[in-house]
A and B are shown apart, each in its own frame.
Chain A
Amino acid sequence: MAKHSVSRRTLLKAGAAGTAAAALPLVNVHGQAAGGTLAIGFWDHWVPGANDTLTKIAQEWAQKNRVELKIDYITSNGNKLRLTAQAEAQARTGHDMLAFATWDVNIHQRNLEPVDDLVADLVRQYGPINSIAEYLGKIDGKWRAVPTTVGSQLKPPHVRMDLFKQHAGLDMQAMFPGGPEGRDPAKIAAWDWEAFLVAAEKLNKAGHPFGLPLGSFSDAIDWVGALFRSFNAVLVTEKGDIVVKTDPGTRAALEYMKRLCQHLPSDVFAWDDASNNRAYIAGRASLILNPPSAWAVAKRDAPQIAEQTWYIQMPKGPAGRFVGDLRYFHGIWSFSRQKNAAKDLIRHISQRENAERLVAASLGYDLPPFASQFDFATWRDEGPPKGLLYNYTPRDDTQPNISGYPSEKSIAAQMYNQATFTNMIARLVQRNEAMDSVLSWAANELEGFQRG
């Protein structure tokens, strides 16, 4: 934790003094950290080199503002980032600024500095912010952390064009071109969960099933949540009322899953977040729902598969087209003594030019919270095949979703983390429980989640 509190005025003064003193090397040396020290815990990126770009962006700001940075890259593997946040929240010391994934903003809301002014400025600059980012980051009317590009990702379908064409008779590249030109709304509208089911059946018969995990890891929770939302399934209302037993959308989604599971590998209930990637890279799966990490690895290890990869939009359901959206935030601890410096750095990272650099460094993996930034060159030009990432970002009528939305947040966080959706499916499909029994079990679980 830094020792000195720094106001914006001090920062500006320090910056001005630094600029003026630039001609005097001796003074410059002594004034290197006039703005104090800022301790940061960033999320450790999967993509090699992405951390370097973030460090460079942060250091550019630090040099300009004469602040010394202490950056730690903390992996989310084994929940280390979450454990760090919990430990720092308990000890009320640690980094000044930390990366928070999805529900952790809600979990640590009482220890996070409100950042309404900063988010309002960014919205003024770049337009409406991602709705899931708002759901997760704005608590009781106050923004507790700033949605960030770093680490934020979507999980749209990532398909093998050749297998779809050969076995399902579908030209996915023609249906979802790699740019705004040539998009046929009728074809896109026809891509719904029923069409998805037909394709799943055909490709499974051809020995290339869809690689859709149904375990307790986030890839499974994210896509299942998007499917439930597109069937208008509501387990708990925004006010916290449990309606799962009587909700027609939940029944419809579960009935659909019963049909879909007949065409999925039987082992999907035990898959983790790496299983779908492996199935795709090995050439076994014809479709997975994932950010571009599987494609990036295939580009290196199985280029013939990478060349046949294409992103498409999610299928549409009765309530719309939704895609799993996993958001990251940068938050400032309320016990930090460098709040203004941290805010200023977050503002700097959120600038369009820096977001573009981060997206390029992550090979299109990172996703900004502003739709106005979905026109970066990376998603248009990256390949092979060129343009495959255009549909990684939400296009047409696709909307972002997080499993549990729009339920009351503390309940939704537990639904997500305790895999309520996939457990319901497993009970129905794997254990052959009656629908009413599954819904009663879910209602009982959700009652437990209401604990204050």
Chain B
Amino acid sequence: MADGTAALAQTGAARSAAGPRRGGLHRMMRRQSTTAFLLCLPLLALVLGLMIFPAFYAGWLAMLNKSMERFVGLGNFTFLFRRETFWNVVWQSCIFAITAVFFKALIGFILAHLVHVLPAKGQRKWRGMLLVPWVMPLAIGTLAWWWLLDPSYSAFNWVIRAAGGENIAWLGDTFWARFSVILVNVWYGAPFFMIMYLAALKSVPEQLYEAAAIDGANAWQKLWHITLPMMRNIISITVLFSLIVTFANFDIVRILTNGGPRDTTHIFATYSFALGIGSGDIPLGAAVSLFMFPILGVFAIFILRGVRRRADAMG
């Protein structure tokens, strides 16, 4: 009996000793956040391997000399600051990104309203059709635009000539070449804004509009006092996201103009490619590609802080 009691006590002690350990691990594994973390691990590994590492590697490359044998600190950046062509690229990138994002947001906003007021039956069809440019691979879409804007056989010029007008050098003249690359970017990106704004529009409570209507508000007042404030966060986030992506654009300029005429359509990515891959100066190319990183970083911090404050205020 005594032996049996002692044995039971020993077993109980062993259980109580092993219990909390196994139980802790068990509890941790059963925690939803742990499962979520484990499920996210492959994605985190991808982000780390394909985004974080290349970003840091690019930062390291940007601080090496041309032959990549010597550390030069910020020497590549100070060199770029003295180059007229580089400042032209900065200026062109800003024109390209800001103008394109403005028109993408504007057109997306208008399209979202148009689709929103369509009867539910036909809405899905229109939504699908309007999304086509965004779904299509950008390189393919840009090639189609290139045929439309071709220096010698432009389809647009064919129509203009048929109407009695004169050829436009879409890709050969600085103004028209900038116009063309921005146009294609707006064509590609506006559907993204449309779909985001449409989702935001659908989440605005109908009662607000009804109340405003009772108060005698006209369409403009409803837009200004209800729609825009309710969509402010989504507008901020889409503009920020699009600005980052547009600043990093490569395909459109590369396919349409290759930076020409006279380097007047080069943007950061194409100029970085021309320097890094074309001319074999990888560190300088990396420095060009990283130039906007701190500016966009600060911009992102302010926008996201605004979004969070508004979300807190509403919540």
Contact = CB atoms under 8 A, between A and B. Distances in A.
B152 A418 contact: no
Contact of B66 (A86, A265, A270, A452): A452
Given A413-B279, A418-B274, A271 B151 contact: yes
B8 to A, nearest CB: 63
Interface string B149-186: 01111000000000000010111110001000000000
A217 interface: yes
B261 interface: yes
Interface of B: 65-67, 79, 82-85, 150-153, 167, 169-173, 177, 257-263, 273-282, 284
A423 B263 CA distance: 8
B262 A270 contact: no
5 contacts: A269-B169, A270-B172, A430-B173, A448-B79, A448-B82
A314 B84 CA distance: 36
A103 interface: yes
A417 interface: yes
Given A266-B167, A279-B152, 17 more contacts: A90-B282, A265-B152, A266-B169, A269-B261, A270-B260, A271-B151, A278-B152, A282-B153, A413-B280, A417-B274, A418-B263, A419-B263, A430-B262, A441-B84, A448-B82, A451-B281, A452-B65
Interface in A59-116: 79, 82-83, 86, 90, 103-104, 106-108, 110
Interface in A265-283: 265-272, 275, 278-279, 282
A267 B169 contact: yes
A427 interface: yes
Contacts of A441: 84
A216 interface: yes
Contact of B262 (A104, A272, A414, A427): A427
A448 to B, nearest CB: 5
Contacts of B278: 79, 82, 417-418
Nearest to B153: A278
B169 A103 contact: no
A325 to B, nearest CB: 19
Nearest to A272: B258
Main secondary structure of the interface of A (DSSP, over half): helix
A366 B211 CA distance: 78
A270 B280 contact: no
B242 to A, nearest CB: 25
A55 interface: no
A431 B66 CA distance: 33
Contacts of A215: 258, 260-261
Given A86-B282, A267-B152, A444-B84, A451 B277 contact: no
Main secondary structure of the interface of B (DSSP, over half): loop
Contacts of B282: 86, 90
Contacts of B281: 414, 451
Given A272-B258, A417-B274, A267 B280 contact: no
Nearest to A424: B262
B277 A270 contact: no
Contacts of A284: 152
Given A267-B169, A270-B171, A417-B278, A445 B259 contact: no
A215 B173 CA distance: 12
Interface string A251-274: 000000000000001111111100
A426 interface: yes
Of A270, A431, A449, most buried by chain B (CB within 10 Å of CB) is A270
A270 B177 contact: yes
Contacts of B153: 278, 282
A444 B85 CA distance: 9
Of A104, A106, A267, most buried by chain B (CB within 10 Å of CB) is A267
Contacts of A268: 151, 172
Interface in A100-158: 103-104, 106-108, 110
Contacts of A217: 258
Given A451-B66, A451-B284, A267 B277 contact: no
A275 B261 contact: no
Contact of A86 (B167, B170, B257, B277): B277
Contact of A216 (B83, B258, B275, B276): B258
Given A417-B274, A451-B66, A452-B66, A426 B258 contact: no
A430 to B, nearest CB: 7
A426 to B, nearest CB: 5
Nearest to B283: A451
A417 to B, nearest CB: 4
A284 B151 CA distance: 14
A427 to B, nearest CB: 6
Interface string A425-452: 0110011000000000100110011011
Contacts of A107: 279-280
A423 B279 contact: no
B257 A270 contact: yes
B85 A445 contact: yes
